[in-house]
Amino acid sequence: MDQPCRYQHAGPLCPSPPLARFRFQLEAQDAIRLPDYAGSAWRGLLGHGLRRTACVTRQPTCTGCLLAQNCVYSTLFETPPAAAQAQGGYGAMPHPFVLDIDPAAPRTLAPGAPFDLTIHLIGAAIAQAPYLSTRSASRANRASAAPAGASASPA
């Protein structure tokens, strides 16, 4: 059942934003030991990989970057507010993705073990899906301080 929208600028009903699910099937290249909540490790890995791959300015932070409104990294990980929200005092918006981490998945993987990573993208973030390729994550993993052994290759 549709619930009435509480915002005046929307129509009589709030439409649901588009939602897309992507499942990456990966293979451990090294032994992997993940923390109890693996979502934080995966979020960090994806964020570092995407920033290394997509940032054209190489600035240390996104603050003040002229490309922030159109940057794939900023869109997903430092989601800037649209002009209307910025005028309303919002400094950032909720991130337009959800990692779907199986709480029963093993926390330790041997080299060669397969594993899945599922991410749900919301709204305009769906167009950014190609940037979340396993190659980007794998490159970042080799170049950053990711969890030991967490580098992955396509299964």
pLDDT tens digit at each of 155 positions of the chain: 444 445 555 555 667 889 999 998 888 889 989 898 888 888 988 888 888 888 899 988 888 888 888 888 988 998 877 777 777 787 778 899 999 988 888 989 999 999 888 999 999 899 888 888 755 555 545 433 344 444 444 43
Q: Do 57 and 68 meet the contact criterion of CB atoms below 8 Å apart?
A: no
Helix and strand counts by DSSP (H, E) for the chain = 4, 6
- Taking each helix axis from N to C end, the angle separating 38-54 and 134-143, rounded to the nearest 10 degrees, works out to 90
Distance of CA 65 to the CA centre of its chain: 20
The Cα angle at residue 105 between residues 53 and 132, in degrees rounded to 5? 15
Query: Are 9 and 136 within 8 A, CB to CB?
Result: no
